């Protein structure tokens, strides 16, 4: 505990190593992580989370680096979280295309962190969210969260962001593919990257018309900005579109509404796991569950009927200890 | 109830329309769905589930159609579930590239079904699994489950399969991208499709060497098969590789182990939702939760501490009603 107190003290004195250790402890689910997080959370209110997502190869890392440098130049302190799907093969993040992030390492006022996904459902968005809150509590006021690839887990991460930027490139396929991947719905701002390539104008026009087609009522259409990450073209316009989205969400109340919804979900899930934690400490309940597994496998009982039996056993056990 | 009894009777007489209606009721979470599922589940033991996954544009639908025809020719009765990420924009499945499936519609002994994802976490794999169990209970003994795209939700669907086929094409990027997407780990069989294109041999070699590199001990390496879905080249070899994987998993006990694990997860999740269902019927608990949301938003309480308070309130309420 003395070590943890020391860590938290260094954290609030602004030691970046203490922030790094805090995030590691969150990521590894260290025994002290929760204790640290409890101290950090109350100060996490002021960081704006910006999700940057899109298919592999869209040039997200380069754009993130550019946006970070621009935000820094405007006086912001910037955190970057690069979410890496981890391979159990290698046991660590695949840093292949993260090299460009290196130019940011050592830049004062920019803190870069890669997070491994470990393939655990739910765990990814939890750990990323907590890491971003640690960054916010540390005083970083803009946090860029880059998710590689597409898919539900990545969409979940994007949904924790206050503003989501979807990065597409002409090669990433037509808008129908993008809609299929669920990206059209989550984008608050669209970047058509590698805009010097053939098909960029067509892609931008397609995105705009798709967004127009499906806009409900008076809602503001998401901005579509053409960028070239490698030379920085369009990045000021992209950064401005992000800022305008955040400002608009604050004015309309959607910002607070979204954060409340996120809080509700986290509380609910935390309550669920607290309720279920008991079962793992209770040999009789565990045996009962294994008995149910056998009955379900034999077709004697459906998984749902078995789940209800288990829930009743848990409720009885909770009642007995209440 | 009379209608539902009639539906189940027609289902077990082999009426394909009754199967279709059963799956729709599962997908829509109709009030009667659970009642029907309870009757169907006990007979679902004999269907083998084969997941077919890979990036968009890999030609999965065409391969699935080819495999289905081949399995049918071998005397199997085949179910196909095509999982479509749904766009809230259109409210329905995007059937753009499913046209090729049409050649299977009306083929006796092959039943094709498209499932919309509706973007609900967990819901996708639940509904897909239940639909495949309905198919198995109907007497379809091989069920092909095609998931479009990559991502956690799709990986979850793949993980419910007894055997998972990962379809890649030279254009889908190198093996590092594939590993990032989490596909290398889940593949029991790899199909390098569009194998007449440049880079197919290199991709197959890369997959083999990656699999070799990371193989633990005496484990059998996943098969890598080159295919051309459009003309059927390699499909018999692919189908044989799938069959061999299933046979091997049965011999080693991994088949039963995997299904038991799946049963355990479903029971556990069903117990969780049964425990939490109470809260939505309990005005005082709901008000308490909203109060917690406010305290979390103000930074007075972390979401975890709030979740524990909520779980204690739920336990007290359960105890009071026990």
Tens of pLDDT, residue by residue over B17-65, are 999 999 988 888 888 888 999 999 999 988 999 999 887 778 888 899 9
Exposed (0-12), middle (13-18) or buried (19+): which is A287, by Cβ within 10 Å? exposed
Contact pairs from chain A to chain B, CB under 8 Å = 265
A293 touches chain B (CB under 8 A): yes
Helix, strand, coil distribution of chain A in percent, nearest 5: 60, 15, 25
User: Residue A302 — pLDDT band, cuts 50, 70, 90?
Assistant: very high
- B66 to chain A, closest Cα gap in Å: 23
Helices (H), B122-253: 123-138, 152-160, 175-180, 183-186, 200-214, 235-252
The secondary structure element, H or E, covering residue A248 is helix A235-252
**Is pLDDT of A88 > 70?**
no
ipTM greater than 0.90: no
Contact B263 A148 (CB under 8 A): no
Q: List the single range of A103-112, B12-21, B184-193 with lowest mean pLDDT.
A: A103-112
- Name the DSSP class of B222: P
Give chain B's mean pLDDT.
83
Residues in B touching A181 (Cβ below 8 Å): 56, 85, 149, 151
Asked if the Cβ–Cβ distance from A56 to B153 is below 8 Å, we say no
Mean pLDDT score, B225-238: 95
Query: Per-residue pLDDT averaged across A113-117, rounded?
Result: 77
Cα B52 to chain centroid, rounded: 9
Structure confidence at residue B253 (pLDDT): 93
pLDDT of residue A123: 62
At residue A89 the predicted structure's pLDDT band, cuts being 50, 70 and 90, is very low
Question: Please, are residues B7 and B24 in contact by the beta-carbon 8 Å criterion?
Answer: no
Task: Choose the closest CB to B214 out of A89, A312, A322.
Answer: A89
Distance CA A64, CA A50 (A): 10
Return phi, psi of residue A85, to 5°: -60, 125
Report the Cα–Cα distance between both ends of chain A, in Å, rounded.
Answer: 30
Chain B: nearest CA to A63, how far in angstroms? 19
Judge contact between B84 and B115, C-beta under 8 A. yes
pLDDT in the model for residue A47: 93
**Tokens encoding B67:** 């495999």
Q: Does A270 contact B at CB distance below 8 Å?
A: yes
In the predicted structure, residue A85 carries a pLDDT above the cut 70: no
Q: Are A146 and A93 in contact (CB under 8 A)?
A: no
- Give me the residue from A38, A152, A266 closest to B153, CB to CB: A152
**Is residue B180 less than 8 Å (CB to CB) from chain A?**
yes
Q: Within 10 Å of residue A257's Cβ, how many Cβ atoms?
A: 11
| pLDDT value at B95 more than 80 | no
Mean pLDDT computed over B100-122 = 67
Considering only the beta carbons, identify the residue of B179, B180, B322 that sits closest to A315.
B322
Tell me the C-alpha distance between B184 and B175, whole Å.
8
Chain A residues with CB under 8 Å of B41 CB are 299, 302-303
Per-residue model confidence (pLDDT) at position B89: 35
Identify the band that residue A148 occupies on the pLDDT scale cut at 50, 70 and 90.
low
Give B197-230 pLDDT, tens digit per residue: 999 999 999 999 888 877 666 667 899 999 999 8
Q: Which residues of A touch B117 (CB under 8 A)?
A: 182
B222 CB-near residues (< 8 Å, 6+ apart): B187, B188, B189, B190, B211, B245
Bridge partners for A145 per DSSP: A51, A81
To test the contact with chain A by mutation, choose from B90, B175, B270, B301 the residue with the greatest count of A C-beta atoms within 10 A, namely B270
Asked if B149 and B56 count as a contact pair (C-beta separation under 8 A), the reply is: yes
CA end-to-end span of chain B: 30
The pTM for the full model equals 0.68
* Yes or no, beta carbons of A259 and B89 under 8 Å apart: no
Q: What is the DSSP letter of B47?
A: P
CA distance B295 to B99: 52
In angstroms, the Cα distances linking B72 to B49, B106, B230, B269 are 15, 13, 18, 35
The model's pLDDT over A154-186, given as tens digits with 9 standing for 90+, comes to 677 777 899 999 999 988 666 766 666 667 778
d(CA A179, CA A158): 15
- Give the phi and the psi of residue B228 in degrees, each rounded to 5: -130, 100
Query: Binning pLDDT at 50, 70 and 90, where does residue B242 land?
Result: very high
Tokens representing A239 are 């950064």
- pLDDT for the residue numbered B119: 45
Q: Which range has the top average pLDDT, A20-24, A124-128, A242-246, B85-89?
A: A242-246
Whether A280 has its CB under 8 Å from any CB of chain B: the answer is: no
Mutation target to probe the B interface, by most B beta carbons within 10 A, among A119, A157, A311 is A311
What pLDDT is recorded for position B58? 86
Q: What percent of chain B has pLDDT over 90?
A: 50
pLDDT range class, residue A150, cuts 50, 70, 90: low
Return the pLDDT at B180: 60
CA distance B152 to B115: 17
Q: Mean pLDDT across the stretch B97-116?
A: 68
d(CA B115, CA A276): 31
DSSP-derived secondary structure for A76-139 = --EEEEEEEPPPTTTSS---GGGGGGGGGTT-TTEEEEEEE-TT-TTHHHHHHHHHHHHHHHHT
Instruction: Give me Rg for the CA atoms of chain A.
Output: 22
Which residue is it, tokens 């046991």? A91
Confidence (pLDDT) at A39? 93
Answer whether residue A121 shows pLDDT above 50.
no
pLDDT of residue A236: 97
What length is written for chain A? 322
> Two tokens at B304?
């975890």
Structure tokens given for B136: 């198995």
């Amino acid at each position: 505990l003395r070590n943890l107190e020391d860590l938290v003290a260094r954290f609030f004195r602004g030691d970046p190593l203490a922030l790094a250790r805090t995030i590691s402890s969150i990521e590894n689910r260290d025994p002290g992580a929760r204790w640290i997080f409890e101290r950090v959370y109350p100060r996490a209110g002021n960081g704006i989370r910006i999700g940057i997502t899109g298919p592999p190869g869209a040039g997200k890392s380069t754009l993130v680096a550019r946006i970070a440098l621009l935000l820094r130049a405007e006086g912001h302190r910037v955190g970057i979280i690069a979410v890496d799907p981890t391979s159990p093969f290698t046991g660590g993040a695949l840093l292949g295309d993260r090299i460009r992030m290196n130019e940011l390492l050592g830049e004062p006022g920019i803190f870069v962190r890669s997070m491994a996904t470990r393939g655990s459902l739910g765990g990814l968005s939890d750990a990323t969210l907590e890491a971003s809150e640690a960054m916010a509590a540390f005083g970083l006021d803009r946090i860029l969260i880059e998710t590689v690839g597409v898919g539900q887990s990545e969409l979940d991460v994007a949904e924790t962001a206050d503003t989501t930027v979807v990065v597409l490139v002409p090669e990433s396929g037509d808008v129908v593919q993008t809609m299929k991947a669920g990206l059209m719905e989550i984008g608050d701002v669209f970047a058509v990257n590698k805009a010097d390539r053939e098909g960029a104008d067509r892609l931008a026009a397609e995105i705009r018309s798709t967004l127009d087609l499906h806009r409900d009522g008076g809602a503001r259409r998401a901005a579509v900005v053409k960028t070239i990450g490698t030379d920085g073209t369009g990045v000021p316009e992209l950064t401005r579109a992000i800022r305008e989205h955040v400002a608009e969400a604050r004015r309309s109340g959607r910002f607070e509404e979204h954060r409340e919804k996120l809080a509700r979900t986290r509380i609910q899930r935390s309550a669920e796991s607290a309720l279920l934690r008991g079962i793992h400490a209770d040999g009789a309940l565990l045996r009962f569950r294994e008995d149910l597994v056998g009955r379900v496998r034999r077709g004697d009982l459906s998984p749902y009927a078995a789940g209800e039996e288990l829930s009743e056993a848990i409720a009885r056990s909770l009642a007995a200890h209440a």
